[in-house]
Structure 1
Amino acid sequence: MPSKKPSSSAKALGADPPAAPTTRRQQLASKTRERMLKIAIREFADKGYSGARVETIASRSKVNIRMIYHYFGGKEKLYVEVLEHVLARLREAELAVTLDVHTVDPAAGIIQLYDFTEAHFSAHRELLCLLSWENLNRARYLKLSKVIQAMSSPVLDKLRRLIRRGEMGGTLRRGIDPLHLYVTLVSLAYFHKSNAYTLSRMFDTDMLAASWQAAHKQQAHELVRGFLRKGTMRQGLAVA
């Protein structure tokens, strides 16, 4: 029986993973499973759950289709594991962000967290695609996961502490909700990338060009700083 490789989801949640494969057979089985998962991520990201075919994943993985069912239990379970994998990878990256919330300037720290999110989405476009497909499905398959909801974002806790310190120190305006701010940061990092092809066509502008993305990132910085600034009214009217 092939040994199941410790999942990224388990590591992201801090669970004790199974022992690493030791025998050559176990190592080969682990590599085969990893290869199938990698191909599945690409297939589901490109075509969504309905459009993806298990036969295609097996063919591109150079395995018999029965191996998909042997390792993952079927298309639906494979798709759920794909979602768990990409979201666990995001959480692991968030945990690796080096940011001293006790000493960094709160506004600068929040901008740094935005930059991390923006960079992660740029480097992992499959995540953008999978989230878009799953939103179309109204999170139907996310709801089947037993671990995704438990993957609380470390960024949210960092934001909460930065906001509290900024309010106490008088450098940030009061009344900023951490979850609303997190969603705003993700929105600013996500929309212009996930919708770049349609927006580029509509406005005859290459929004995936490095120069356009850099300019948009700078504008996002200015928007976030303006929102955080002490003296900005909740209604969105800036006062001195």
Structure 2
Amino acid sequence: MGVSSPAHQLSARAKATRQRILDAALVEFAEKGMAGSRVDEIAARAGANKRMLYAYFGSKEELWLTVLEQAYAAKRAEERELSVDSLPPAEAMASLVAFNLRYTSRHPEFVALLNQENLHRAAYLQRSEHVPALYSPMLAALTTVLRRGAAAGVFRDGVDAMQLYISILALGHFYVANRHTLSTIFGTKLDTEAAIAAREAHIADVVLGFLRP
């Protein structure tokens, strides 16, 4: 699918309105999910009206998909800025681990959107015309670092890059997605800088320990 009016064909004012709607929808969807969010509330938060929202996006479902695509695109844009080629393999791997956790902790709305889309069994994401563009540059960087590490004898051979990538994502995603319940259970705040730094160090130790020859 796609947005009914491509952004590049809109006037500057229309683009600004469209982006305000997307920003408002991101907040609403992250808080209430797609099913629980109301178009009226999104439009009001954006300072727009329902007519404009429908003109730009066609339906709440298409708005949800556009917000989801934009959230993926934002993360992928930052991933493309990662520069680990000049780092020794172990440092490069730790840097990739740190990026994922730090990005996730800065953007809990991204975690919320993914959790909601998984409840829908990716029914909306599967309709996206931009899925190939959602491929993670971090996975490509991870693959290169694994090869360099194996060639240098500091990482073991035969590591499945996709499986390791998923493990790194899971170690950060679970922490952020469950930070409130975990903080309550363990009686300590897990969203402070000190707590996140400790989690970052732990994940790096886990991953590097797994990779040792």
Matching residue within 123, 132, 136 for 1:140: 123
In the alignment, is residue 165 of structure 1 matched against residue 172 of structure 2?
no
Measured in 2, the distance between the counterparts of 1:215 and 1:56 equals 39
Q: TM-score normalized by structure 2?
A: 0.92
Q: Which residue of the partner structure matches residue 103 of structure 2? A: 120
- Alpha-carbon deviations, 1:122-145, whole Å to 9, x = none? 221210110111122211211121
Letter in 2 for 1:177: D
Q: Which residue of the partner structure matches residue 60 of structure 1? A: 45
Kindly report which structure 2 residues correspond to 1:46-195, keeping only aligned pairs within 5 A, or say none: 46-100=31-85, 103-195=86-178
The structure with more helix, counted as a fraction of residues: 2
> Which runs of 5 or more residues in structure 1 are unaligned?
6-17, 231-240
Q: Which residue of the partner structure matches residue 205 of structure 1? A: 188
- The alignment yields a C-alpha RMSD, in angstroms, of 1.7
* Aligned residues of 2:5 and 2:56 also touching (Cα < 8 A): no
In the alignment, is residue 41 of structure 1 matched against residue 22 of structure 2?
no
SS in 1 for 2:129: coil
Letter in 2 for 1:169: A
* Aligned residues of 1:87 and 1:148 also touching (Cα < 8 A): no
> Which runs of 5 or more residues in structure 2 are unaligned?
none
SS in 1 for 2:135: coil
Cα distance, 1:202 vs structure 2? 2.2
Measured in 1, the distance between the counterparts of 2:132 and 2:109 equals 20
Q: Would you identify which runs of 4 or more consecutive aligned residues in structure 1 move more than 6 Å? A: none
- Alpha-carbon deviations, 1:121-169, whole Å to 9, x = none? 1221210110111122211211121212442111111111111121122
Percent of residue pairs identical:
39
Measured in 1, the distance between the counterparts of 2:149 and 2:212 equals 10
Which is further off, 85-94 or 121-130?
121-130
* Aligned residues of 2:5 and 2:57 also touching (Cα < 8 A): no
Cα distance, 1:203 vs structure 2? 2.4
Measured in 2, the distance between the counterparts of 1:4 and 1:147 equals 14
Q: Which residue of the partner structure matches residue 11 of structure 1? A: none
Q: Which residue of the partner structure matches residue 15 of structure 2? A: 30
- Alpha-carbon deviations, 1:97-138, whole Å to 9, x = none? 1221xx421121111111111111122121011011112221
Measured in 2, the distance between the counterparts of 1:81 and 1:209 equals 31
Measured in 2, the distance between the counterparts of 1:60 and 1:89 equals 22
* Aligned residues of 1:99 and 1:109 also touching (Cα < 8 A): yes
Q: TM-score normalized by structure 1?
A: 0.82
C-alpha change, 1:94 and 1:29, in structure 2 (3 Å) is same
